[in-house]
Amino acid sequence: MTPSKEKAVLAFKKNGGILRTAEAIRLGIHRETLYSLLKEGKLEKLSRGVFRIADGHPLSNPDLVKVATRIPSGVICLLSALSFHDLTTHIPHEVDIALPAGAEEPRLEHPPFRAYRFKGKAFTEGIETHSIDRVQVKVYSVEKTLADCFKFRNRIGTDTAVEALRLYRERKKTKPDDLVKFAAICRVKDVMRPYLEAIF
């Protein structure tokens, strides 16, 4: 392996095994080196402009990692967030991602995703950052996700939102105050109240 390729592989390893093209170039890796390593099987393409070291550990959640690296301004939400937090029996067929109102529509070949527009505090509040496969992935907290599910109940189904609330109630640690706070932020306090009273 040439010194430039060795340097590139080392840079990938130091950065968790995954880099976007722009990040690789900033680290002094030439575009031709990237494509040469890809051709040799030393790198694999996760999605357009995102590469990972080929001999790395298998990704535990490749779809969330791909979306987080390609759409860094987005936040995993709704069914995808419910699945991440183990609060649904449904298997998401696409990644739900929240974007600020007015944000440009992302371009991503794979995995399939659905973008939702959130305004003000409904977008900025309740964001947690989780390290998944050494990639920083933004996901809404459990309580914020539950409020979002009631807000978008016509899209995901009221039964899905209620099921998630029941699964949440079965946990030892619940935060009813946070639920009420996020219900107010998402303007679904009146919608959620009867369910909260019945379940809690």
Q: Which domain holds residue 32?
A: 3-53
What total of structural domains would you count in the chain?
2
- Statement to judge: residues 109 and 174 lie in one domain: yes
Length of the chain: 200
- What's the pLDDT score for residue 57? 66
DSSP 61: S
Q: Residue 128 is inside which H or E element, if any?
A: strand 127-132
pLDDT digits (tens, 9 = 90+) for 33-89: 888 888 888 888 876 777 877 776 665 677 898 888 888 899 999 999 999 999 999
pLDDT digits (tens, 9 = 90+) for 86-106: 999 988 889 999 999 888 888
Q: Kindly give the interhelix angle for 142-151 and 158-169, rounded to the nearest 10 degrees.
A: 160
- In this prediction the pTM is 0.75
- Statement to judge: residues 43 and 76 lie in one domain: no
Look up the CATH number of the domain holding residue 102: 3.30.460
Instruction: Decide if pLDDT at 24 tops 90.
Output: no
Instruction: List the single range of 7-21, 82-96, 133-147 with lowest mean pLDDT.
Output: 7-21
- Statement to judge: residues 17 and 93 lie in one domain: no
